[in-house]
Amino acid sequence: MYRKTLSELAAELQKGQISSLELTRLFLDRIEASNTTLNAFISVDREGAEQAAKVADARLTQGQTGPLLGLPLAHKDIFCTEGVKTSCGSRMLDNFISPYDASVVARFKTAGAVMLGKTNMDEFAMGSSNETSWYGAVKNPWDNTCVPGGSSGGSAAAVSARLTPVATGTDTGGSIRQPAALCGITGLKPTYGRVSRYGMIAFASSLDQAGPMAQTAEDCARLLNVMAGFDERDSTSIDNTPEDFTAALEQSLAGMTIGLPVEYFQEGIHANVAQSLDTAIDELGKLGVQFKEISLPNQHLAVPVYYVVAPAECSSNLSRYDGVRFGYRCENPIDLEDMYKRSRGEGFGNEVKRRIMIGTYVLSAGYYDAYYLKAQQIRHLISDDFKKAFDQVDLIMGPTTPEPAFKLGAKSKDPVSMYLNDIYTISANLAGLPGISVPCGFADGLPIGLQMIAPAFMESRLLNIAHKYQQVTDWHKRMPADYE
């Protein structure tokens, strides 16, 4: 049962083959059995989940339906959940229980989904390996000595090991797509503004976007149907007409043109990754897709631009954690300055501090023009590259990451090499575009992901092609043997 996709589980529930409570307990038990090893969850809400499952069962008995009614899922611990701890992977919020639900959480509740718990993540979503979490690193289910990727590493590992059928994640520079690739699952970062950011703890406001993580593209489409939509509480949310993201899943790919940016296939890419991509290109070719070489000439600037813009915004966004109203406060402060310094000094980890310092620096008087303003200008150039590319092609494809999952600790002493793991994912955030990572092979037993990027609001196109690809491949169906 636990191997089934969300869509399959929904059918089982509707048929009455299994109750929501049974399903919920099945996954809760799997979490209990494996979380000590994987460390994928920060909080497990057995009581709340069972209660929600009972309510869902009652509704199901009454003949009510709903795409997610009674189905279990997990939320990244970046989403505020009323009554359940929301730590954002930080000591700073280890004691924080939100008095309100994030919009995403509320939408899932309304849809009748059952939240199992909150997944581990890099502290304040800053990291690509899940090693910056105050709650310790998450392990990659395919190899416990490897990282699951980050920052949504807990969600990715949990879905990969089938501790939950699906999970939510957030993606600021690749935080859904990169861990999805490293854990062998499907993860979608929607267009900026597609999903409300209200109640999603901010890292870099102009880049953050929530999205679904699941076994299949079809499941991602089902989740996005619930997550997406205008929210008057988020001024950057887009007021589009509601869309059914499952509608175009089965469309033929014939006549579709995919662009392959030369910049995504240069040095630095792992041989097995390149090989898996080639195989995927062949598969898609058989489905009628045409390929065209394109160029994103400013691609090499994406990482440096990102590491100006994101820290700048985070340095301001994280100012509210001052020990005054909520969160961590140091013991016995002698005065206000001492309270600020020690609360923040003790409450934040090193990566967060590093980014706050970078951000503070690039915004400070005399440096703003040279760094922040310049970075914003280059951001426009990167956006323009995509616009020009989409004049010629329907989608852009490349690897999600340069290499499969790396060893725990391998990059944690070298921030720049860690940052470079997001080299292919960051530009979609800078341009606000939707991107998806789909499993496309293995290298020495570790999953490999391919990434596709679409024009703004073309999630349906991404999901369509990913779904068609998954119908002719089985990479997404494989799961780590230790969790069978």
Partner 1 sequence: MQWETVIGLEIHTQLATNSKIFSGASTAFGAEPNTQACAVDLGLPGVLPVLNQEAVKMAVKFGLAVNAEIGMRSIFARKNYFYPDLPKGYQISQFELPIVGKGSIDIRVDVAEPKRIAITRAHLEEDAGKSLHEDFHGMTGIDLNRAGTPLLEIVSEPDMRSAKEAVAYARKIHSLVQYLQICDGNMQEGSFRVDANVSVRLRGEDALGTRTEIKNVNSFRFLERAINFEVERQIDVLEAGGKVVQETRLYDADLDETRSMRTKEEANDYRYFPDPDLLPVELDDAFIAQIQTTLPELPDAKRQRFMADYALQETDADLLTASREMADYFESAVKTSGGQAKLVSNWLTTELTGRLNKEDKSLGESPVAAIQLGELVRRIADNTISGKIAKQVFDVMWQSGESPDEIIEAQGLKQITDEGAIEAMVDEVIAANPEQVEQFKAGKAKVMGFFVGQVMKASKGKANPQQINALLNAKLKE
Task: Indicate which single residue of 254, 365, 416, 481 sits in contact with partner 1 (rule: CB under 8 A).
Answer: 365
In angstroms, what is the minimal distance from the CB of 364 to partner 1? 5
Shortest distance in whole angstroms from residue 434 CB to partner 1:
19
- C-alpha–C-alpha distance, residues 171 and 113, integer Å: 22
Interacting stretch for partner 1, rule CB under 8 A, among 27-35, 85-93, 158-166, 242-250? Answer: 85-93
Beta-carbon contacts of 266 under 8 Å, excluding residues fewer than 6 positions away, are: none
Catalytic residue among 19, 43, 133, 151: 151
Measured from the CB of residue 301, what is the shortest distance to partner 1 in angstroms?
A: 20
Dist CA 183 CA 189 (whole Å): 16
State how far the Cα of 429 lies from the Cα of 436, in Å rounded to an integer.
12
Total chain residues near partner 1 (CB under 8 A): 44
Q: Is 175 labeled as catalytic in the residue annotation? A: yes
Which of 198, 203, 264, 307 is the binder for partner 1 (CB under 8 A)? Answer: 198
| Shortest reach from residue 118's CB to partner 1, in Å | 13
90 part of the active site: no
For the segment 291-330, give every residue that binds partner 1 (CB under 8 A). 312-313, 315-316, 318-320, 322, 324-327
* 3 state DSSP class of 128: coil
- Can you name the residues that pair with 443 across neighbouring β-strands? 446
Q: Measured on CA atoms in the order 69, 73, 79, 80, is the torsion positive or negative? A: positive
Biggest CA–CA distance in the chain, Å, is 70
Alpha helices in 332-373 (DSSP H): 336-347, 350-363
Q: Does residue 17 interact with partner 1 by CB under 8 A?
A: no
Q: Does 73 bind partner 1 (CB under 8 A)?
A: no
Question: Binding of partner 1 at residue 94 (CB under 8 A)?
Answer: no
- The smaller minimum CB distance to partner 1, of residues 257 and 364, is found at 364
- 398: its two tokens: 């490349």
Q: How far is the CB of 119 from partner 1 (least distance, A)?
A: 16
Contact 166, 185 (CB under 8 A): no
Tell me if the bond preceding 151 is cis, omega within 30° of 0.
Answer: yes
Site string for partner 1, 224-263 (x = CB under 8 A): --------xxxxx---------------------------
Q: 151 an active-site residue?
A: yes
48: Cβ contacts below 8 Å, ≥ 6 apart:
83, 84, 115
DSSP string computed for 208-220: -EEEEEESSHHHH
Binding site for partner 1 (CB under 8 A): 79-80, 86, 88, 93, 96, 98-100, 102, 197-202, 204-206, 232-236, 312-313, 315-316, 318-320, 322, 324-327, 336, 340, 360, 363-365, 368, 372
